[in-house]
Chain A
Amino acid sequence: MFKYFLKRFAAMLVTLFLILTLSFWVIRLMPLSIFENPDISPEIQQKLEEKMHLHEPMVVQFGYFISGVLTRGDFGTSVKIRPGMDVLEIIWERVPTTMILNAASLILAIPLGILAGTIAALKRGKMTDNLISFLIVIFISVPSFVFASLLQYLFTLQWPVFPTLYLTHASTTGQIVASMVLPVIALSLGPLATIARYLRGELIESLSSEYMLLARTKGLTRGEAVVAHAFRNSLVPIANTIIPLITGIMGGSLVIEKIFAVPGIGGLLVDSIMAGDHFLTVALLMMYSVTSLLTIFIIDVSYGIIDPRIRIGGGQE
């Protein structure tokens, strides 16, 4: 198991290095001068480029960058979004807000998703199932910003129950929590529907399996058989859906954060690309890569634990 773990970890580090290298080159080769701006004279633009070593050949620039990353963990300094600020500081400044909102949305989405999926499966083919399935399709297919705008319009303007924006400065905790309600709901609808859809499918399959018939013939009630056997077995494949949701809580949502003015990480990548803030873009790409690779790593390792055939199979190859 330990060998399997090490192999996976080493593969992850190599992938990260490749992503880092590729990101740097691709971003730096974009046809945009970082400091191109009619408000800055060409002379100052040139000086700024020299200061950031941007006038040097790409290989030299990469050398400066990679040595900074490997020796000091220094991904560089922002030049546009927060001029002069360390790019990692910019990211860490905004990650906590995103994490709080996303974690809250998962706390809402996971139990509700499981509940909705279970009810839909148990009431298969009935009105309740049809209604839940309809809502699942709506929540998955309609972009989240539509719900976000709708929620904002209904509950901040038509019936002003909640604040329009996410508050970071309210005088009471209650106001801050109230301001989180709409973005959390908007964020949770997608994951909720995804979990419910998967669980419904798995549970329907389990309910019609032979071991359920055996459980019933042993004298278990339908409820006992569902909880003790069908539900437990159906939750294992759901882990595949839930783990990425959990590891992705740092990711943020570009649109939801924009609509509710959440000072999170959501729009930062787009902002940095549009602004030509290359060092920040590369650092963000690294952050997202680490998150994704970590997710894959956890899923791989957890599968290895759950089903030893997987790690043995991997080893034999």
Chain B
Amino acid sequence: MKKVWGLLLAAVLLTVLCACAQAEKVLHIYLKDDCPTMNGQTSVESSINTPMTYCGATLYRAIPTEDGMGYEFIGEIADGMPEQVDKNTWHIKIRPEACFANGEPITADTIVYSLKTGLDPKLTNAMADFISSQAINIKNAKAYSIQTEAEPVAWEDVGIRKTEDGCLEIITEDEVTQMDVCNHFTTRAMVPLYEPLYEAGMNEDRTKSDYGLTVERWMSSGPYKLTKWVYKSIQVYERNEHYWNPDLCHYDRVEVNIIPEANARMEMWERGDLDLYTPDPSALEQYIDDPRIEEIGSLTVYHIDVNDKNPDNPICSSNNYRKALYYAINRPVIAKEIFGYQEAVGTYVNNQAGIYSPSGLAYRDSAQGKEVTEMVESWGPAGYNPEMANKYLDAAYEEFGMPKDTVLTLIIGYNPNEASWKPTAEYLQEELPKVFNGRIRLKSVTYSTSTTEFKKGTDQWDLSPNDWSRTLSRTYPHAAFYYFTSGYANHPNVYVDAEFDAQYAVCDSDEVRMNYDRLLDETAKLEKIYLDKVIHIPVCQEVGYELYSDRVVLPMKQYLPVIGWGLPYGDINE
């Protein structure tokens, strides 16, 4: 009898072990909107980052360090780190085992073809700028991609070529660091194109290809391969058996549901159908005290542009008037109550800027950045100070010879589809008259176009919300201000300042950029000018919130931008 029981127990144990061994590790995540394409070169939509991270290989990849406290770059398609040949030339060896999901090799020729296609002036890919000039400026790459009749550039003159020994040679316009090179070649625009499919989908006049529009018309190259894609419904990634670094990722399958509706996302999270959930502002109240909630950093600092050219506003050109508005904005209330648990800030450089620098020190955490923050806090919480606001409005009225009790009606323009700005505008309509004792009133004008289009079309506005994040760099803190200098032709803010432009030029010089300590000093000076001239009015730093299910084992012990909590490299523990 004992033998029978023993056999039965062994059989049960064996069954359980087999079941455990065979249990498929499936990660369930979601996107709010689907990717327009899998071709990382033709669309700027950020949703494409998800499939590209899992299913696309790039020359370099940022992965979590073993201790889970940081990240490091590894050569993915590249064999080792880029080697600096001279001041502006870098050589990148290609890993011999690198291949697409069908087993066909990825060579230096593949990379050159992909980059050339990405920059092709006839194809005009939306992501061309990300190839020519993101973290590094590749020699003549931008000029080649925009190709004018006056200044034609041949492909041979572009700083991308294959060397005789099969390496990829990159020539940059300026001197850059090894980190910059690695960074540049991690973006989705660098995922290699599978030439046979790309060419098969090309039209007769070679102005477009249907590469990446369906699962059959795209070739994976990353740790996973895209096996199913029902547009606006689901993406399924399964392990790529040809991937040369199989230990990098641990899931057997990743299922990405496309869930546009906020309630559906919350319900799926509550049901346990999702391993990751980002609560919407409306649901944040419910989860803010959940011990699983994790804060994630963002590059975006929401701000309000101030027009200095409104013909109907007699004091719009006054710096005192701009300062009055700066002090009058109650950022803590807007950040917490309206934007929903965001961080109120009276400064503009975001808290991520600088973390890619050689020292990894964010500008906001540096002594220079802290000094500016403390200065702002000394004025009031995140710079809010109604007394100072009135003092500067008095000064502005005096400057223009206007009586102190003049009532001004300002126009705030916003797009009502922008969920947080509409209530912000409504709040300011109530708040500003209180702050200025009725001397400033606010009238709202809504527009359905983009903020840039609105501002291009009229000067009759005074305040307008903005949340541009394109300006931002995690390497160079000063870059946050680029789009607010006269150097950028298409910026939506009409206000420019010569002193601010000059200081930006100092920060952006090779000499300063290559010396991070100096860059921190100069950026602090730039930010002080920004505050003194009120180039625009910062409101709040975006903070994201994420919840992870208990079954997911994350490789990172702290959140770091670039790889976040390292979800693609995590594991499932049932």
A residues bordering B, Cβ < 8 Å?
31-33, 35-48, 51, 77, 80-85, 93-94, 149, 152-153, 156-157, 160, 164-166, 168-169, 258-263, 267, 274
Contact = CB atoms under 8 A, between A and B. Distances in A.
Contacts of B233: 165-166, 168-169, 261-263
B450 A32 contact: yes
B273 A44 contact: no
14 contacts: A31-B449, A32-B449, A38-B469, A38-B470, A40-B126, A44-B126, A44-B129, A77-B208, A84-B42, A84-B210, A153-B267, A258-B260, A260-B264, A261-B261
A168 B236 CA distance: 11
Given A32-B453, A40-B129, A83-B43, A164 B267 contact: yes
Nearest to A145: B261
Nearest to B255: A169
Interface of B: 36-37, 39, 42-44, 121, 124, 126, 128-129, 142, 145-146, 207-210, 213, 228, 230-234, 236, 255, 257-261, 263-264, 267-268, 270-271, 273, 417, 449-450, 452-453, 457, 468-471, 483, 489-490
Q: Which 7 A-B pairs have the closest CB atoms?
A: A263-B232, A38-B470, A39-B44, A263-B233, A168-B230, A43-B146, A168-B233
Q: Among B36, B207, B453, B483, which residue has the most Cβ atoms of chain A within 10 A?
A: B36
Given A39-B44, A41-B129, A84-B210, 4 more contacts: A42-B490, A152-B267, A156-B271, A261-B261
Given A47-B121, A82-B213, A33 B44 contact: no
Contact of A33 (B228, B232, B453): B453
A267 B457 CA distance: 29
Contact of A44 (B128, B207, B489): B128
A259 B36 CA distance: 20
Contacts of A94: 231-232
A179 to B, nearest CB: 10
B264 A259 contact: yes
Nearest to B207: A51
B263 A153 contact: yes
A160 B271 contact: yes
Contacts of A32: 449-450, 453
Given A37-B44, A82-B36, A152-B263, A261 B232 contact: yes
Nearest to B258: A261
Q: Among A37, A39, A83, A85, which residue has the most Cβ atoms of chain B within 10 A?
A: A83
Given A164-B273, A168-B233, A31 B457 contact: yes
B494 to A, nearest CB: 16
A81 B43 CA distance: 9
Contacts of A157: 267, 270-271
Given A81-B36, A84-B210, A156-B267, A165 B259 contact: yes
Given A152-B267, A164-B273, A93 B42 contact: no
B54 to A, nearest CB: 17
Contacts of B267: 152-153, 156-157, 164
Nearest to B41: A83
A160 B268 CA distance: 10
A281 to B, nearest CB: 14
B124 A263 contact: no
B236 A169 contact: yes
A232 to B, nearest CB: 43
Contacts of B417: 274
Contacts of B258: 261, 263
Nearest to B457: A31
Contacts of A35: 126
A125 B260 CA distance: 44
Contacts of A149: 263
Given A84-B208, A152-B264, A44 B146 contact: yes
Contact of B126 (A81, A83, A258, A261): A83
A267 B233 CA distance: 13
Contacts of A44: 124, 126, 128-129, 145-146
Contacts of B468: 38
Contacts of A38: 452, 468-471, 483
A259 B208 CA distance: 34
A80 B260 CA distance: 18
Given A51-B124, A81-B36, A165 B449 contact: no
Contacts of A37: 44, 126
A156 B230 CA distance: 22
A36 B447 CA distance: 15
Given A32-B450, A84-B208, A165-B257, A259 B263 contact: yes
A161 B268 CA distance: 13
Contacts of B124: 44, 47-48, 51
Nearest to B125: A44
A152 B267 CA distance: 9
B209 A84 contact: yes
A232 B145 CA distance: 70
